[in-house]
Amino acid sequence: MTADSGLDGFVLTRMAAAKINLALHVVGQRADGHHLLESLVTFADAGDRIGISPDTDDRFTVSGPFAEDVPLSGDNLVLRARDLLRRHQTEHGAEAPPVHIHLEKNLPVASGIGGGSADAAATLQGLMALWKADPGADERLAMALKLGADVPMCLDGRPLISSGIGETLAALKTFPAFPMLLVNPRRAVSTPVIFRTLVNKTNSPMPSLDDARTTLEWLNAMQAMRNDLEPPARALEPSIAAVSAALSDTGPRLVRMSGSGATCFALYATDAERDAAAVRLSQRHPGWYVLACHSAAGGTNDSQG
Ligand SMILES: C[C@@](CO)(OP(=O)(O)O)[C@H](O)COP(=O)(O)OP(=O)(O)OC[C@H]1O[C@@H](n2ccc(N)nc2=O)[C@H](O)[C@@H]1O
Ligand SMILES: Nc1ncnc2c1ncn2[C@@H]1O[C@H](COP(=O)(O)OP(=O)(O)O)[C@@H](O)[C@H]1O
């Protein structure tokens, strides 16, 4: 396992898109301690990248700006996904020959935008294609959940509403794309710690989103929603308040923290407004991670208005 330069020459490449919890309501807790969530989720048109090629032995290499922050051991979600799918193949008498997997780590680690989950999902998808593996929908969901609560939604990759701990997914019939900024203060935040410090485990559910059609209707609906993990994350990591305030100063339509933090997102009316905000924030806060991108559109509505 060594550092490597890039993805040129790989037989197969996959994007592992950043996941954004546009809203996240914690509505209960299971007997096993896992929290029951309702979340409005979309994906960025940017993220990590995975390359896979057949090889004589299994290999794993990592490059990219956040390569040093990911475990290179078997704990890496890329390797856990590979090993899980291989076990499934072996149990079904199917082939799972050695592969070289390369991870281009572009997303900050432990940042609330599901980089590891997206990497696991992209690895499963890539290896299913390479090994011609077809576990079926139920087994695929079970494997994804074994890797993490966010992995099923990352496999889906479209704007959706998730519930349970992330096992129930409902794709959105319409959802607008937005010019979006993702900003992280480069402070890792631990998901289990945030869940543990959350005081109120039973909060009001998300409102019905059945009537939202236009961009304005979606924005109004999202403004009335919350991220219940934001208060405990702000208490643990004060730089989240600074990121959120700096984003709010740039005239966006919505600012909120994603997942368990610390990344905050801002949605803008136009690419030009987003780009001006990105320049301003990068100049004022050179230590922050600032990514200008678009969020994915759902269904047939790809309006950017
Ligand atoms: C909070 C969310 C929102 O999308 O995202 P991130 O902040 O991680 O991006 C997810 O629920 C995170 O999912 P994921 O990152 O896959 O978490 P997992 O590895 O399954 O769980 C890590 C730990 O977080 C806690 N956990 C996770 C999910 C959940 N619904 N309830 C929990 O209490 C548990 O202590 C668990 O052991
Ligand atoms: N491929 C990977 N990318 C990022 N983190 C990984 C990966 N594999 C394992 N991890 C571990 O998973 C944890 C959560 O990372 P990540 O998925 O980036 O968090 P989040 O979902 O909060 O953005 C980290 O503690 C990290 O060490």
Q: Does 117 contact ligand 2 (Cβ within 6 A)?
A: yes
Query: Do 105 and 70 touch, CB atoms closer than 8 A?
Result: yes
Name, in order, each residue with C-beta under 8 angstroms of 104's C-beta and a sequence gap of 6 or more. Answer: 6, 7, 48, 49, 50, 51, 62, 63, 64
Q: What is the rounded distance in angstroms from the CA atom of residue 147 to the CA atom of residue 9?
A: 28
pLDDT digits 0-9 by tens, 89-140? 999 999 999 999 999 999 999 999 999 999 999 999 999 999 999 999 999 9
Q: What is the rounded distance in angstroms from the CA atom of residue 121 to the CA atom of residue 279?
A: 32
- Share the mean pLDDT of the chain: 95
% helix, strand, coil for the chain, step of 5: 30, 30, 40
Q: Predicted confidence band at 302 (pLDDT cuts at 50, 70, 90)?
A: very low
Ligand 1: residues with CB < 6 A are 21, 24, 33-35, 37, 39, 112, 114, 117, 148-150, 165-166, 191-192, 195, 259-260
pLDDT digits 0-9 by tens, 221-237? 999 999 999 999 999 99
**Could you tell me the domains of the chain?**
2-170 (3.30.230.10), 173-299 (3.30.70.890)
Active site residue 19: yes
Q: Look at the alpha carbons of 185, 191, 197, 202 in this order and tell me if their dihedral is positive or negative.
A: positive
Q: Predicted confidence band at 74 (pLDDT cuts at 50, 70, 90)?
A: confident
For the CA of 77, the closest atom of ligand 2 is 8
Q: Predicted confidence band at 2 (pLDDT cuts at 50, 70, 90)?
A: very low
Residue 266 has a pLDDT of: 98
Residue 190 has a pLDDT of: 97
Amino acid at 92: H
pTM for this entry = 0.96
Q: Taking residues 210-218, report their average pLDDT.
A: 94
Active site residue 173: no
Amino acid at 56: T
Q: Whose CA is nearest to atom 27 of ligand 1?
A: 34
For the cut 80, the answer to whether the pLDDT of residue 80 exceeds it is yes
